[in-house]
């Protein structure tokens, strides 16, 4: 127990120093310290969720097909590409004529229409019905809906969960019964930039010229959400100006490891984002950059392991846990790989590493388990280790 507490304190102290350091020196050495996403997007050049380019610089994924056909084909199959869907493209909505949930004194209903879906809430006397604007989340773990009423966006009070094959309360929303039918629709996203941030992580080119413009976005996280607007790259490549073309697009594969993890963290939340938002306990489980960077594997290997060791962003993630073994064994084997590092070797098993060292935890309200990216030895009966 004392040891754990000590590690926790050390963790927090180290975090605040890292944050202070990152923020004070960012203009000097932007490339080598973990940073907050809000600071990253202020630097010159592209960064995911940055909203300064103009809409006509974005071409959409079909424009990449002629030269990067296989990436376009496989990326389309990823949940990221479907992080925001038109209701008529949502499998969860298409396969249910009607979804209902009673959260007294209100009753919710989502019914399939000829085109799209209708969301209704009633208190038995009055009813508000609205067409759904967007379905957020492919729906593998859950799907939440966005509604628009009189110019205000709402996050639906009920979400779809595949394990329930039905609706339940949207995680993170107040459990208290709303006092008006209007409030019962969902959480209104009135305060500054919230809707914009939602769309910034789930779609491509929703904010352009610093203006939120959902009418012209490209649904889902597609090529240019990560690589930046592609018009200049495509024009140069077509003209066979290779050098100009390469300069006009970001290749995150060339970033150093700290930047690479922050890159995915633009949406998955970077280490510093998590510290600044003071998200402690099980609520930070899903912020993989933060969890990974707490691991000895990251700290003691001089940032030798990034998201890209285990995930190809152009493909759906590998579901077979044993397929991750070779990444672990690239460091944890004896004798050391030629020219490579040798980490300690496991005395317990030679395979299925992540099944023990990256356990899955249930997140309250989510009806699903998520993978802990804080790689470590799990002591018997140990709960979530913050
Ligand atoms: C006319 C052909 C062409 C089109 C269209 C095209 N690219 Fe490329 N792209 C290339 C060539 C050639 C390279 C360099 C060789 C390579 O990495 O495949 C390249 C390289 C890249 C790189 C790596 C850059 C680097 O510095 O290594 C990225 C990222 C990229 N393209 C993204 C895109 C995106 C996103 C689109 C669609 C908006 C796109 N490309 C459309 C031809 C094209
Ligand atoms: C522009 C925002 C954005 C960026 C940048 C981003 N992601 Fe994602 N990612 C998402 C969203 C949103 C989802 C949820 C998709 C869903 O389930 O609807 C997601 C889901 C995922 C998943 C789970 C789905 C699957 O493939 O099985 C993985 C793995 C993943 N991202 C890896 C990465 C990696 C690695 C990077 C960095 C190279 C990255 N992401 C960068 C927004 C982003
Ligand atoms: C900072 C970026 C970011 C913002 C802002 C954001 N999301 Fe997400 N969202 C993600 C990522 C990344 C995932 C995938 C997380 C994972 O699988 O670990 C995700 C997943 C989801 C999912 C899929 C179910 C689930 O929990 O995996 C839903 C639904 C969702 N987000 C809805 C929303 C809504 C609604 C908003 C605005 C109120 C929003 N998100 C704002 C990045 C973001
Ligand atoms: C979630 C973020 C993300 C999305 C979405 C994404 N990429 Fe990438 N891309 C990366 C990262 C990270 C790398 C560097 C690692 C690698 O090479 O896989 C990369 C590398 C590349 C490269 C250069 C490396 C190589 O293998 O030639 C090309 C070309 C490329 N991407 C094209 C595309 C195209 C086309 C799309 C859309 C179909 C796309 N990317 C969507 C993150 C992304
Ligand atoms: C880039 C190299 C690298 C990779 C890849 C890597 N590790 Fe590590 N890991 C280390 C280093 C270095 C340490 C510190 C102890 C040591 O020297 O082994 C460590 C420590 C550990 C520890 C002990 C942690 C503790 O808190 O005492 C475990 C367990 C572990 N790694 C498991 C894994 C598993 C499982 C994977 C694959 C999912 C993996 N590692 C991938 C380098 C790596
Ligand atoms: C050492 C390997 C490894 C590294 C490094 C890694 N992941 Fe994962 N990731 C996994 C495994 C294993 C799963 C679970 C696969 C499954 O069960 O489907 C997973 C699952 C996920 C999921 C799906 C949701 C969940 O919680 O199960 C997301 C999103 C994700 N990773 C994002 C990231 C991001 C972002 C990074 C970089 C910060 C990253 N991962 C680094 C191995 C890794
Ligand atoms: C059945 C669960 C299980 C599996 C599977 C497993 N481990 Fe372990 N591992 C453990 C436990 C438990 C310990 C702690 C042993 C102890 O302290 O006596 C451990 C310890 C470790 C350590 C720390 C060693 C040290 O000397 O401090 C590393 C590194 C490690 N495992 C890596 C791996 C790798 C790599 C794999 C896959 C090849 C793997 N483990 C598979 C349960 C597992």
Question: Which residue has the CA at smallest separation from atom 9 of ligand 2?
Answer: 80
pLDDT at 190: 79
Query: Whose CA is closest to 78, among 286, 220, 218?
Result: 220
Residues 6+ positions from 8 with CB-CB distance below 8 Å? 386
Task: Check residue 20 and give its pLDDT.
Answer: 47
pLDDT tens for residues 81-98? 999 999 999 999 999 999
Q: Over the stretch 124-174, which tens digit does the pLDDT of each residue have? A: 999 999 999 999 999 899 999 999 998 899 999 999 999 999 999 999 998
Q: Is the pLDDT of residue 188 over 70?
A: yes
Residue predicted with more confidence, 232 or 364 = 232
| Pocket perturbation via mutation, ligand 1, pick of 65, 67, 234 by most ligand atoms within 8 A of CB | 67
Predicted pLDDT of residue 28: 42
**Residue 301 has which token pair?**
């290997």
The closest alpha carbon to 139, from 94, 206, 197, belongs to 94
In this predicted structure, the answer to whether residue 31 has a pLDDT above a threshold of 70 is no
The protein residue with its alpha carbon nearest to ligand 5, atom 28, reads 376
Nearest-ligand number for the alpha carbon of 332? 7
| Cα 311 to averaged position of ligand 6 atoms, centre (Å) | 7
Q: Which mutation among 37, 226, 317, 384 tests ligand 6's pocket best, with the greatest number of atoms within 8 A of CB?
A: 317
- Is 72's C-beta closer than 6 angstroms to any atom of ligand 1? no
Distance 80 CA to ligand 2 centre (A): 5
Please, are residues 170 and 159 in contact by the beta-carbon 8 Å criterion?
A: yes
* Residue 12 scores a pLDDT above 70: no
Cα separations (Å) of 336 from 196, 291, 331, 355?
Answer: 48, 26, 7, 23
So what's the pLDDT on residue 139? 86
371 lines ligand 6 (CB under 6 A): yes
For residue 60, pLDDT over 60 is answered with yes
Write down the pLDDT at residue 133: 97
Question: Residue 337: pLDDT band by 50, 70, 90 thresholds?
Answer: low
pLDDT tens digits for 63-75? 999 999 999 999 9
pLDDT of residue 7 exceeding 60: no
Closest atom of ligand 1 relative to the 229 alpha carbon: 38
- Give the number of other CB atoms < 10 A from CB of residue 91: 14
The residue among 228, 146, 236 whose CA lies nearest residue 187 is 146
For residue 1, pLDDT over 60 is answered with no
Confidence check: pLDDT of 342 > 90: no
Q: Is the pLDDT of residue 30 over 80?
A: no
The CB of 331 under 6 Å from ligand 1? The reply is: no
In this prediction, residue 338 carries a pLDDT of: 63
Is-contact 133 148, C-beta < 8 A?
A: yes
The residue to which tokens 């909505």 are assigned: 93
Alpha carbons 118 and 109: distance in angstroms, whole number: 8
Using a 10 angstrom Cβ sphere, with 0-12 exposed, 13-18 middle and 19 or more buried, the burial of residue 146 is buried
């Amino acid at each position: 127990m004392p040891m754990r507490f000590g590690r926790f304190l050390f963790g927090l102290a180290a975090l605040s120093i890292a944050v202070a350091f990152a923020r004070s020196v960012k203009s000097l050495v932007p490339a080598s310290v973990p940073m907050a996403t809000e600071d990253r997007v202020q630097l010159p050049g592209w960064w995911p969720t940055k909203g300064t380019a103009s809409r006509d610089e974005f071409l959409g994924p079909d424009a990449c097909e002629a030269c990067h056909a296989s990436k376009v084909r496989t990326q389309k199959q990823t949940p990221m590409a479907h992080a925001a869907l038109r209701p008529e493209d949502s499998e969860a909505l298409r396969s249910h004529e009607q979804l209902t949930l009673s959260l007294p004194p209100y009753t919710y209903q989502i019914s399939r229409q000829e085109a799209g879906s209708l969301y209704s809430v009633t208190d038995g006397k009055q009813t508000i019905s609205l067409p759904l604007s967007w379905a957020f989340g492919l729906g593998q773990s859950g799907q939440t809906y966005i509604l628009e009423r009189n110019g205000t966006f709402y996050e639906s009070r009920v979400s779809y969960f595949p394990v329930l094959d039905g609706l339940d309360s949207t995680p993170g929303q107040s459990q208290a019964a709303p006092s008006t039918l209007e409030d019962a629709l969902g959480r209104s996203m009135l305060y500054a930039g919230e809707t914009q941030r939602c769309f910034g992580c789930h779609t491509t080119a929703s904010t352009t010229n610093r203006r939120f413009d959902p009418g012209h976005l490209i649904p889902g996280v597609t090529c240019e959400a990560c690589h930046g607007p592609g018009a200049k790259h495509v024009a140069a490549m077509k003209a066979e100006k290779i050098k100009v073309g390469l300069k006009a697009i970001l290749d995150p594969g060339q970033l150093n490891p700290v930047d690479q993890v922050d890159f995915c963290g633009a949406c998955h939340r970077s280490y510093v984002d998590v510290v600044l938002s003071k998200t402690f306990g099980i609520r930070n489980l899903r912020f993989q950059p933060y969890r990974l960077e707490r691991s000895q594997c990251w700290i003691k290997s001089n940032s030798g392991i990034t998201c890209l060791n285990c995930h190809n962003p152009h493909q759906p993630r590998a579901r077979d846990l044993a397929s991750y073994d070779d990444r672990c064994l690239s460091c944890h084997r004896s004798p050391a790989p030629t020219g490579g590092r040798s980490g300690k070797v496991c005395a317990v098993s030679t395979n299925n590493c992540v099944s023990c060292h990256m356990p899955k935890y249930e997140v309250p309200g989510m009806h699903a388990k998520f993978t802990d990216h804080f790689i470590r030895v799990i002591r018997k009966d140990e709960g979530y280790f913050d």
